[in-house]
Structure 1
Amino acid sequence: MVDQAGLKEAATGNPTQPRSPGQLYAANLLTDGLAHCLTAAPSPVFEWQLRQDDDGDPALARQTGHELEVRDVHGGVVWSSGQVASAAQRGIPYGGPQLEDDTDYTWRVRIMDAAGVPGPWSDLQPFSTGLADNSWQAGWMGRAPGGRAPLEILNRALRVAGSPFLPLPSPVLSSFRLEARLRPVMGRAGLLLRSSGAGTGLLVELDAAGQVLLRRAPGWEIPSPTAPETKILARAAARVQAREGATGLWRNLTVSDDGRTIRVALDGVELLAVDEPAAADEAGVLALHQGPRSQAEYAELRLTDTTPGQPEALVFDHRFDMDDDQGLSCLADWPRTTAHRQPDEWTLFRAALRLSGTVRRARLYVAAHHHAQLSVAGTPCLDTTSFGYPGEGYYDAADITEILAGQPAGSTVPVTALLHWYGPGQGRAAGVPGLLVRLTVDYDDGRRDVLVSGPGWSAGEAPYRQSGYRNDEGDPVEHLDAQAAASLDVADDPAAAVVTGRHPSSDFPRLHPRRTFLAGGFVAPRQFLTADDGTMVADFGQVLPARPEVDFLDGVSGRTVMLRAGYALRTDGRVDAGKTASQNTDMSFPYTQASGPQQFRASVHLGFRYLELPGIEAAEVSRVGALTVHGAHPGEGSFSSSDPVLDAVFGLLHDSSLYGVQEQFVDTPTREKGQFLADAANISYATMALFGEHAYTAQALREFAWSARRYWTSSSEKGRYNAVYPNGDGKRDIPDFSLMLPEWAGEYHLRTGDLDLIRELLPHLRDTADYALRHIPTEGPTAGLVTRLGGGSGPYLHGIVDWPAPGRFGYDMECVAKTTVNAQAYSALVSTARLCSVAGDESAAVRYAAAARTLANAIRTRLRVDGVMVDGLHPDGTPSSHASQHATSFPLSLEITGAAYAAADAARIAGMGMRQGPMTVHRLVRALLGQGRTDAVLDLITSKDQPGWARLLDRGATFTWEAWDLEDGTDYSQSHAWSASVIKEILEHLLGIRYTAPGGNDVLIEPPLCRLEHARGSVPVGNGYVHANWRRRGGLVELECTVPPGTTATVRLPAGTYGLKGPGTFSDQGADAAVVVSAGEDGHQAGGTGDFRVHTGTWTFTPA
């Protein structure tokens, strides 16, 4: 029998005599974080994973050094590192002369194993450099604003959206009466009087509540986020007002103007009579007006000429509510184009490239604001998206050698691009539409041709109609017009593209190579359903972020099909388009058909489960499905257990975290596609733990730092970040969101060991720590505690605590020194201290650590009343009478709680069940796990008798929700991934694998002591995956674990006697197994745990 000390020596002791060459080699080589990098920096960084042959000595599977070399396309060595003594595998800098732009290279590396012996060289890894900003030598392109007017007949109504001036089909009138049956859908419906164009005349506005306003017409153009305020001449409200936010109430509005008095009546009741004589030179043009992100619908419009002394004369009587054909007939009299920028701008660019030889290499580089799809020689080859502010956009590249190498020399190859600019919204900065292209072709004789965006390109409006907004977040409805597409004639003489400036320009001063990419693929419906009225409904079985696709066998030219996506069905089997079911979002995809066979392919994704095809028979389609859209990640861990409900919840969390990322972390893929800081942090905890994701997290951290640089630079505001970024509504923060960033950055560093990004972020992190300290008064009733933390507004003022509001479970929001805010301030301080320390700034580390200790002491002493943590202090210093679960879980999860109270606090919150919302539930789970309350966590996860994930599953959820309950009349999201954060805790504490050193080359494997009988799974680490498979055997645990090369694990098991089998550990003793006693730290077997250090290989621990 081998004692524990002897086992540890055998497992990790002196390596056996090395063979030659060395035992280790590199695999999965990455350049600037990418396996296939076409946009490497002039001085890139490299990384790799370690591998060892099956017959290798696992005791040698540890890197002690490396040698790396970079070669040019001819095989010449550009730079060699020489032998470097280092265990680092990530962020290895290139140390040679700067590499040339748009050029191919290769690199390889060999590894020194634990004995210092170099292994074989890796295969050559190709990569290409990208473009510096001054290397594009190309111009940003757009087109002249305007095109199809935002007027469309849909669902038996005239839909009008976002435009400063949409003239009615009428002559100039000096006296008139306009009668309208209408409803404001978003914002206010507007009518311009006495106007000569946008920004002139008077504006009558009606909101959904029945309030009427007469004011001077505002001047504005899209992408303005709002219409400016102007002088108000009069206002009034209907006696019977609609409830706030109502959009379904139709109103009868009558406006008359005799040149002197303007009268406004609503539902037959005159509300305004304003004497406002018209100027002699004032025009009498009538027009519709819809401010940015606003929309109205008209069922009827009737205009009568009431010129004094003449019989009244009907100018037009347009009914849009009879049927769509009659509505279209009426709309034919209207001006159908506008000179103003459209809410949803689609542009088709064309150019041609003549090939003058045999193509050896071809690269396409593209940047766009917002989204572009590029095709070369008729082959789609690149999609690119960039929603950022000026200087914060991204570019992409594609290898199109294969496409062009198949073209004969002397041929002319078409290059086309579809640019989609959405306007400002959640997750999108406004900016201006723009496309930047550089295509380089290298021939076999050494020559190079270049096609760049600029002169020589044409640009025209793409075949999309302007069908209004999906919601008040500014997301437009995508309406593809196949009939218009069929009429596009490439032989026509199109307008030249408008070149807005050579890159870099003021609108686009800098571009960054993209490091995050999309994945996904076609999915077919799980089943087809038939609604009571015969409507075909495709059921995809779960909520997916996807773009609908339908293949029609024989379309009807001019017919508009209203495809509609949704989360739920009504009782009659149709898609539920109600406010709560749809997140208050128009989830339709109107599609105007051409004649003959055709394919509908949406360009914009939504989250949905169902897709209905009203008016379409099954025999009319050959294919219905959707293209899923989610972030691409480098790997995927796993988890399963003896509890089927726990496994089902894990599946829910897995899918939610996967589908909660598209171009960026998102609030939801349907209503608010913006990257909110709290949502991003929570989802990131899950994706880093489960998928080994680092790129989206790095991108998000950097973008929030950019928000600080853009908006929060004054001395009183430093340390704050935008609550959502990028975004279309500018400067906006939520105080406790800002406090989350240092802890999140710390988790990123633990997962990656990436010190370069941490050093980049540290000035902002220190600002955040100082931001918290600025709000700690030294005297007064709340002295020593963070008080009225600056920032936020409305329900977020001085701190959001939890959201949506029901997730606060009665938290006392009147407190000015909130316990949750103070705990998060402590987190910001202690996380910043740790990161300053790893970055080498010890003086700052000491200062922030001391401040954290002082704040923790104040929290412990001032916010505990009669032994219980309360929600905070009121302005006069009196403690809150409410003791929420939040007030206990936050400090307990962050190890603020004193040892004397920790166990009792854990017992108290365990007894409360689920009393926190999905946004903060990870705090509750961490608090319980930190005190060994694993069974209480299992209760939270698996009980359907209280709010939580199991209840969501019981209610049919396939994606986590924004709130535990959907309250009727709200727009709470049914595709909200922020409670997926607890994937991290499931893998770390229920599977039992967690990182103990930055980068994941040192881990702890500790099966939990709980009611689970067994669990198995894997966690991605720096060199692959750590696997664990454990089963409870009485008071002991049977464990099999696998540790990849270059990784060391501490196995922590309940104290007892175990049979141990490992990778040849005991071969020198003539056996491959041993029996060992695992004693606790005090040497006693009863209770406690024992630790084993194991290296690469598969290890089995069996209770003896």
Structure 2
Amino acid sequence: MLVASLKAEYAVRPLGTDVDRPRFSWIASAPGYGAVQTAYQLRVGSWDSGKVTSSRSFGVEYDGPALTPRTRYQWSVRVWDGSDRASEWAAEEWFETGLLGEGFGAAQWIGGETSSAPLLRRAFSVDGTVRSARLYASGLGYAELRINGQAVTDAVLDPGFTDYGRTVLYVTHDVTTLLQSGENAVGAELGRGFFGMNTPNVWRWHTAPWTAEPRLIARLVIEYDDDRVAEVVTDEAWRITGGPTLSDSLYTGETYDARRALPGWDSASFADSAWSPVDVVDAPSGQLRAQEHEPIRVVETVAPVSVDQVRPGVWIADCGRTTAGWVRLRVSAPAGTTVSLTYGETVADGNVVAVNGHVEGDRIQRDEYIAAGSGVEVWEPRFSYKGFRYVQIEGAQPEVELRVVNSDVRSVTAFASTEPAYEQFEQAMRLTVLSNLHGIPTDTPFYEKNGWTGDAQVGAPTMLATLDLARFFTKWLGDIRDSQAQSGQLPVIIPTNGWGFTELSPATEWPTVYPILLHEMHRAYGDERLLREHWDSLTRYLEWELDRVEDGLSVSVLGDWLPPGYSDGPAPEDRRLTGTAYLYRAMLAAAEIGDLLGKPHDYRKAAASLADGLNRTFLDRELAVYRSADDPDYRQTSNVVPLAFGIVPSDLADRVAANLAADVESRGFHLNTGCLGVGVLLPVLTAYGYGDAATKVALQRSYPSWGYWFDQGADTMWEMWEADSRSRNHYFQGTVVQWILENVAGLRNGGTGWERIVVRPDARGETGSASVRTSTIRGQVAVMWRRKSRVFALEVHVPVGVTAEVHVPSESASDVAAVPQSLAGEATYEDGYTIYTVGAGIWNFTSRTA
């Protein structure tokens, strides 16, 4: 066996972790068939686990002596196979601890009153050969850190957004190569972010309990070859001045006056005598913790597809894609010339549309650059990102290029199909999700930039199926815990400043993301520690939800948000139906978590009571239809959600599903679901034998449908089904992709940490082939199928540690050939599929009668 892909705390070579007992993972591989890991041996620094009999290859916890702060540890692992043969030791990897319990020492929070984004600096000397240098820093809301004229990182909009009253993140930077013998300088430019938001908005970010002027804490630790250690910390010795960034806001954009730029301000030779001494300022009340999730980065730079003059002095650049980020400009203009850049997702009447009724004022997503007149000038924003496709340029015509900006998470899935629409939808959903990853999962990069819990609730399975979000969602789950009220209640946006506890709340379908996301994380990554860390907060939340149940029902004010024809938001049906259904689902998720942790609970009893209340109130047993007194017509979501969650009585489930399929057909194979129903409609139809109907809905081109969006020019998922959708970069209606991956390509995660997969391409209509490759925590899983005439060929890649249940479409078991047949074992036949159970290896199946 071979061992590779070593990670500590889900990361390759994490720099600055505050986890005192890190967890390790690796991927074992072997040629042939049926390979298994039976034992492992882990070495971390001087600690040796010895040979441990276990098939576990992830979540293996360090169990040695207490780790030392600010220390790099080398580690490796080897494994044993089913014949008790040891592998070679894997190539060594490392992780480095952060400050742990040591903290920031003598460093203080510093800042000061300036009329623009502050620049802070400190000169210091280096008097020897530097072995190692680390800069530990937190600048709120954002900090661009520099040493000797160079940025210390390529991360942007850093550190991550949190509830600053509970948690403040610091970042560790390796700055060894940036130091020089003799005089040096360390500096920072600070942006406002959500911490110092001063743009009035309906979510009241500008009056959050933590709101304050930007501030910085930093600790630079220099280790010399002769074992001396020196430190430079933020204190009264630092200097401050207002910089050229006159204003910055996540909602309104930035204004930068290049005439005020101070070349060399971050270099050792710069004279800062005219600058003011900094103030030592109050620390935010949140606990300083190491930032463990991926930073936000500029992940791509591309030229616009066109730049057209729409009238004298006004140009519109079409970036060719809807995305999140900003543009970088290159301009040569007289001093004082203001170049205005207005960002938007659409164009109307010769102008980029940049309107946001939730934010005060008429300046929305607009950057302004005031030229210095010094020749060719290059600039890009530092402290705000925008959602856009188009940029309206006024004042001068610069060269611009698109800078795509999002949390730098890894893509884990590749999908292909002979049906172009499926590939288009999958790519659009991927781009939409990425556009909404900026340290938190947001709803839209244009309007809100808020962490709406309902969006993540419905999107999480698709998001986890396409991207590596182990660290990202671990961080956001911490934000959920931080946002919890003393009562146990959770708000509808997270992080929050207090907004969302009474506004658009209670809305059960939204904060039930907590147990459901924990459950999904365990399915994807087998993460038991995460469950243990959140159990107490989770039970407090569920107790709050149960305490407000009335007559067996959960009251909710949001419901199936934005179905066709209801662009004002809520669906017309009684929202207690979906509210109760989602609380039922949350109770079952919590019950599974409690069982796993060995925690006593009565969540299954509570779930049964909720199911009874829902069925008693909304189920017409004679007609086999769920409906409420508020319904204007048959509501697909009201029927598909109980089916999806297993609430429908078993004697009625087939009839309820038949009525659902009949309604879909009566509408010309159109959906009438909002964000809650859309993700389960096609899987439920397929599961109950209506795969052809599901396929027709998926490939529909007229309103309302995904195809309708793309015929209107979409390249991402939209917020509303209507052509005038307010937001055109909103993932919660794009969850059709989960069905594409699981039912068209046919790959489903069937167990904890992908220990079992189910391969069942049961929505093959209108498609000649499909394939999906997914990098899981156990290794790469792949499913590829194609059909030609009456021959169906299926190839399945199963990594070590995974068992696959493969359903081969066929008319009888005798029509299926497996390679290698001698190892495939006995097959069973059921409902049009020949079913094999196989272990690690590459398996090929052919059916002559599919």
The normalised TM-score by structure 2 is 0.89
Task: Give the residue type in structure 2 aligned to 1:521.
Answer: E
Kept after mapping to 1: 8 A contact 2:562/2:571 = no
**What pairs with 1:71-86 in structure 2 (closer than 5 Å)?**
71=45, 77=46, 79-86=47-54
1:606 is the counterpart of 2:386? yes
The CA deviation at 1:493 is: 2.6
In structure 2, the residue matched to 1:1095 is 839
In structure 1, the residue matched to 2:33 is 58
1:25 is the counterpart of 2:2? yes
The CA deviation at 1:51 is: 3.4
**Cα distance in 1, alignment partners of residues 676 and 334 from structure 2:** 48
Given candidates 686, 689, 707, the residue that maps to 1:929 is: 686
Task: Give the residue type in structure 2 aligned to 1:1093.
Answer: T
Kept after mapping to 1: 8 A contact 2:314/2:393 = yes
Cα RMSD over matched residues?
A: 2.9
In structure 1, the residue matched to 2:138 is 367
In structure 1, the residue matched to 2:353 is 576
**What pairs with 1:144-183 in structure 2 (closer than 5 Å)?**
144-147=112-115
The CA deviation at 1:802 is: 2.5
In structure 2, the residue matched to 1:446 is 227
In structure 1, the residue matched to 2:409 is 633
Kept after mapping to 2: 8 A contact 1:351/1:414 = yes
The CA deviation at 1:635 is: 3.4
**Cα distance in 2, alignment partners of residues 1089 and 738 from structure 1:** 39
Task: Give the residue type in structure 2 aligned to 1:906.
Answer: A
Given candidates 471, 476, 484, the residue that maps to 1:695 is: 471
Given candidates 1042, 1066, 1073, the residue that maps to 2:797 is: 1042
The CA deviation at 1:486 is: 4.7
1:758 is the counterpart of 2:531? yes
Kept after mapping to 2: 8 A contact 1:58/1:1045 = no
Kept after mapping to 1: 8 A contact 2:345/2:389 = yes
Q: Percent identity, please.
A: 24
In structure 1, the residue matched to 2:43 is 69
In structure 1, the residue matched to 2:83 is 115
The CA deviation at 1:133 is: 5.0
Given candidates 574, 580, 587, the residue that maps to 1:822 is: 580
1:953 is the counterpart of 2:710? yes
Task: Give the residue type in structure 2 aligned to 1:822.
Answer: T
Per mean C-alpha deviation after superposition, the further-off stretch among 803-812 and 30-39 is 803-812
In structure 2, the residue matched to 1:226 is none
1:908 is the counterpart of 2:659? yes
C-alpha change, 1:812 and 1:951, in structure 2 (3 Å) is closer
1:391 is the counterpart of 2:166? yes
Task: Give the residue type in structure 1 aligned to 2:625.
Answer: M
C-alpha change, 1:665 and 1:853, in structure 2 (3 Å) is same
Given candidates 732, 735, 740, the residue that maps to 2:507 is: 735
Cα offsets for 1:457-484 (capped at 9, x unmatched): 11222222248x77xxxx3431011111
In structure 2, the residue matched to 1:376 is 147
In structure 2, the residue matched to 1:139 is 107
The CA deviation at 1:67 is: 0.7
The CA deviation at 1:724 is: 0.9
SS of match in other structure, 1:521: strand
In structure 2, the residue matched to 1:867 is 623
**Cα distance in 2, alignment partners of residues 589 and 810 from structure 1:** 30
The CA deviation at 1:924 is: 2.4
C-alpha change, 1:69 and 1:1077, in structure 2 (3 Å) is closer
In structure 1, the residue matched to 2:295 is 517
C-alpha change, 1:839 and 1:860, in structure 2 (3 Å) is same
SS of match in other structure, 2:511: helix
The CA deviation at 1:557 is: 1.1
1:665 is the counterpart of 2:441? yes
Kept after mapping to 2: 8 A contact 1:138/1:437 = no
**Cα distance in 2, alignment partners of residues 1089 and 541 from structure 1:** 44
**Cα distance in 2, alignment partners of residues 871 and 822 from structure 1:** 14
1:773 is the counterpart of 2:542? no
The CA deviation at 1:689 is: 0.5
**What pairs with 1:345-360 in structure 2 (closer than 5 Å)?**
346-360=117-131
SS of match in other structure, 2:10: coil
SS of match in other structure, 2:44: strand
**Cα distance in 2, alignment partners of residues 870 and 44 from structure 1:** 50
In structure 2, the residue matched to 1:565 is 343
Larger radius of gyration: 1
C-alpha change, 1:919 and 1:561, in structure 2 (3 Å) is farther
**Cα distance in 2, alignment partners of residues 32 and 44 from structure 1:** 10
The CA deviation at 1:1079 is: 4.2
Task: Give the residue type in structure 2 aligned to 1:739.
Answer: T
Task: Give the residue type in structure 2 aligned to 1:588.
Answer: R
C-alpha change, 1:457 and 1:817, in structure 2 (3 Å) is closer
In structure 1, the residue matched to 2:829 is 1080
SS of match in other structure, 2:117: strand
Per mean C-alpha deviation after superposition, the further-off stretch among 370-379 and 44-53 is 44-53
In structure 2, the residue matched to 1:996 is 750
In structure 1, the residue matched to 2:635 is 884
Kept after mapping to 1: 8 A contact 2:553/2:614 = no
1:402 is the counterpart of 2:177? yes
SS of match in other structure, 1:1057: helix
**Cα distance in 1, alignment partners of residues 625 and 569 from structure 2:** 12
Task: Give the residue type in structure 1 aligned to 2:471.
Answer: A
**Cα distance in 1, alignment partners of residues 237 and 615 from structure 2:** 70
Provide the aligned length of Structure 1 versus Structure 2: 811
The CA deviation at 1:585 is: 6.5
The CA deviation at 1:676 is: 1.1
**What pairs with 1:639-650 in structure 2 (closer than 5 Å)?**
639-650=415-426
Identify unmatched segments of 5+ residues in structure 2. Answer: 665-669
**Cα distance in 2, alignment partners of residues 983 and 851 from structure 1:** 32
1:542 is the counterpart of 2:326? no
**Cα distance in 2, alignment partners of residues 743 and 130 from structure 1:** 31
**What pairs with 1:319-338 in structure 2 (closer than 5 Å)?**
none
The CA deviation at 1:1053 is: 1.6
Kept after mapping to 1: 8 A contact 2:170/2:288 = no
Task: Give the residue type in structure 2 aligned to 1:680.
Answer: A
**Cα distance in 2, alignment partners of residues 937 and 1018 from structure 1:** 23
C-alpha change, 1:445 and 1:120, in structure 2 (3 Å) is same
In structure 1, the residue matched to 2:372 is 594
The CA deviation at 1:1013 is: 2.8
1:654 is the counterpart of 2:430? yes
Cα offsets for 1:160-192 (capped at 9, x unmatched): xxxxxxxxxxxxxxxxxxxxxxxxxxxxxxxxx
Cα offsets for 1:654-713 (capped at 9, x unmatched): 2112222122111111221111111223333222111232222222222112211xx2x2
SS of match in other structure, 1:58: coil
**Cα distance in 2, alignment partners of residues 38 and 25 from structure 1:** 26
Task: Give the residue type in structure 2 aligned to 1:1013.
Answer: G
**Cα distance in 2, alignment partners of residues 650 and 515 from structure 1:** 25
**Cα distance in 2, alignment partners of residues 729 and 811 from structure 1:** 22
Kept after mapping to 2: 8 A contact 1:106/1:124 = yes
In structure 1, the residue matched to 2:667 is none
Task: Give the residue type in structure 2 aligned to 1:726.
Answer: P
**Cα distance in 2, alignment partners of residues 592 and 755 from structure 1:** 53
The CA deviation at 1:450 is: 1.2
The CA deviation at 1:452 is: 1.1
Task: Give the residue type in structure 1 aligned to 2:12.
Answer: A
**Cα distance in 1, alignment partners of residues 826 and 786 from structure 2:** 19
C-alpha change, 1:691 and 1:139, in structure 2 (3 Å) is same
In structure 2, the residue matched to 1:274 is none
1:1031 is the counterpart of 2:803? no
**Cα distance in 2, alignment partners of residues 930 and 908 from structure 1:** 14
**Cα distance in 1, alignment partners of residues 689 and 234 from structure 2:** 62
1:978 is the counterpart of 2:727? no
In structure 2, the residue matched to 1:254 is none
**Cα distance in 1, alignment partners of residues 465 and 245 from structure 2:** 41
**Cα distance in 1, alignment partners of residues 521 and 636 from structure 2:** 28
Identify unmatched segments of 5+ residues in structure 1. Answer: 1-23, 72-76, 148-344, 778-782, 790-797, 875-879, 1067-1072, 1082-1086
Kept after mapping to 2: 8 A contact 1:543/1:609 = yes
Task: Give the residue type in structure 2 aligned to 1:145.
Answer: E
Per mean C-alpha deviation after superposition, the further-off stretch among 817-826 and 988-997 is 817-826
C-alpha change, 1:355 and 1:608, in structure 2 (3 Å) is same
